[in-house]
Amino acid sequence: MSIGTGTDLGGTGLSGIGVGGTGPAAQAAGSLPPPVTGPVRARRLHLPRSPKIIAGLAMLAVFLILAIVGPLLAPYNPSASSSTTNGVPQPPSAAHWLGTTQIQQDVFSQLLAGGRSTILVAFLSGLVATVLSVLVGVSAGYLQGRWMDDVLSMLANFFLVMPALPLLIVIFGFLPASGGSNDVLIGLIIAITGWAWGARVLRAQTLSLRARDYVESARIIGERGWRVIGFEILPNLLPIVASSFLFTVLYGVGTYTALAFLGLVNPVHWSWGAMLFWAQSSDAELSGYWWWYIPPGLAVAFLGTSLALLNFGIDEFINPRLRAAGLTRRRAKQAGGQGLPRRFELGLTPVVRVAANGATAGTAMTDRTQEQPS
């Protein structure tokens, strides 16, 4: 049940965090206390190993802290002009760390203040969209073959092919101006267009899980539908739910920024997209005012990168073949595997195993059943 054993999406990789994580994980852990909290322990042991997940989590934590304390740290009022006579954006200086805008607003303060709205809208839309996609996807998968499944799948496919941004532009275009600065409303509207992909993936995986023996047996015992879904199926969908949550948050960041950039969200409601809106309407990119548009753009890009890195990590957790980290020559040398071929090619999923006591005493496994020498 350790990292290298999972070979398909629904196989050991998934059950490792859900039901069957107790025994083998504890064996690998060796000197650790008895596995009272088996599945939780397994989750803790597996996930943070990937450098992608660590980097993603660290970056995301910085952004979340920024969302909470950012507006309080801002040295200036983001909307206030420090001078009404100067109409030229000032480059970064000691007084204004990231320079000023055309009407002498402090870019650094706008960046700090704008993070909260951007991150709030993104996470809210991600949360709502994920709840929607679990509801629709899992029920459609569980009710496969009935008319309900057809209706729900059709709905998901409809939202999937509908180009989201133009639809949102029409909706926001007709929204009264007062609605354009309400973060909760914006997040909800974005969520409506963002749930379909998650629902489709979850439906497919539910279909596969539904046919498994343990789900069958739960049903034969006479468990009720909601119990089978909630306690047998849903725990095994967690990595996919997490991945689709991150995906929709990423989508929310991009979409909210795009809408604000277009001026569809009240532009004095500070967000990173609103900053880009003002920069664009003053031709900052044509006049070389890089300090105006680079900070908000980079902030959006790095927030997105942190989410995408986490998503990569989860993907690699679900499907170990995607992992590249265990294959580099440096890692192989660290692990002391002299018999490693220079490059792995086909049919083999080599894994460098790391012993639980901290030392890298593992070796390359080209067989999924071999015991680890130590």
Partner 1 sequence: MRLIARRLLFYFFTAIAAVTVDFFIPRLMPGNPVESVLAHLQGTVTPATIRSLELQYGLNSPQGLWGQYMTFWVHLVHGNLGLSTSYYPSPVTSVIRGALPWTLGLVGVATIISFVLGTLLGIVIAWRRGTWLDNLLPATTFFQAAPYFFVAFIALDIFATRLGWFPTGRAYNQLDFPALSTSYVGDVLYHAILPAGTIVLCSAAGWIVGMRNVMVTTMDEDYVLVAQAKGLAKRRVIWYAARNAILPSVSGFSLAIGFVVSGALLTEIVFSYPGLGWILLQAVGARDYPLLQGIFLIITFAVLIANLAADFVYVFLDPRTRQEA
d(CA 371, CA 365): 9
Q: Which tokens hold the place of 269?
A: 């409601």
- Residue 41 binds partner 1 (CB under 8 A): no
Nearer to partner 1, 45 or 276 (CB): 276
SS3 203: helix
Among 114, 119, 107, CA closest to 271 = 114
Residue 2's CB is within 10 A of a number of other CB atoms, namely 23
In the complex, the smallest distance separating the C-beta of residue 161 from partner 1, rounded to whole angstroms, is 5
- Residue 77 binds partner 1 (CB under 8 A): no
Q: Which residues pair with 365 in a beta bridge?
A: 351
- According to CB under 8 A, which one of 118, 248, 319, 363 is a site residue for partner 1? 319
Region of 155-163, 183-191, 202-210, 212-220 interacting with partner 1 (CB under 8 A): 155-163
- Residues ≥6 apart with Cβ < 8 Å to 208: 9, 10
- Residue 285 binds partner 1 (CB under 8 A): yes
- Residue 175 binds partner 1 (CB under 8 A): yes
Nearer to partner 1, 327 or 361 (CB): 327
Using the 8-state DSSP alphabet, how is residue 230 labeled?
Answer: I
- Residues ≥6 apart with Cβ < 8 Å to 350: 326, 327, 340, 344, 364, 365, 366
In the complex, the smallest distance separating the C-beta of residue 277 from partner 1, rounded to whole angstroms, is 10
- According to CB under 8 A, which one of 34, 222, 347, 358 is a site residue for partner 1? 347
- Residues ≥6 apart with Cβ < 8 Å to 364: 332, 335, 337, 339, 340, 350, 351, 352
The sign of the CA dihedral 366, 372, 373, 374 is positive
Judge whether 19 and 214 are in contact, CB under 8 Å. yes
- Residue 290 binds partner 1 (CB under 8 A): yes
Judge whether 141 and 201 are in contact, CB under 8 Å. no
Nearer to partner 1, 131 or 164 (CB): 164
Q: How many residues interact with partner 1 (rule CB under 8 A)?
A: 67
Nearer to partner 1, 38 or 91 (CB): 91
Nearer to partner 1, 164 or 238 (CB): 164
- Residue 176 binds partner 1 (CB under 8 A): yes
Among 58, 53, 61, 51, CA closest to 242 = 53
- According to CB under 8 A, which one of 348, 355, 366, 368 is a site residue for partner 1? 348
- Write out the binding residues for partner 1, residues 220-279 only, by CB under 8 A: 250, 253-254, 257-258, 261-264, 276, 279
Residues in touch with partner 1 (CB under 8 A): 52, 154, 157-158, 160-167, 169-171, 173-176, 179, 197, 250, 253-254, 257-258, 261-264, 276, 279-280, 284-288, 290, 293-294, 297, 300-305, 307-309, 312, 315, 319, 321-322, 324, 327-329, 343-349
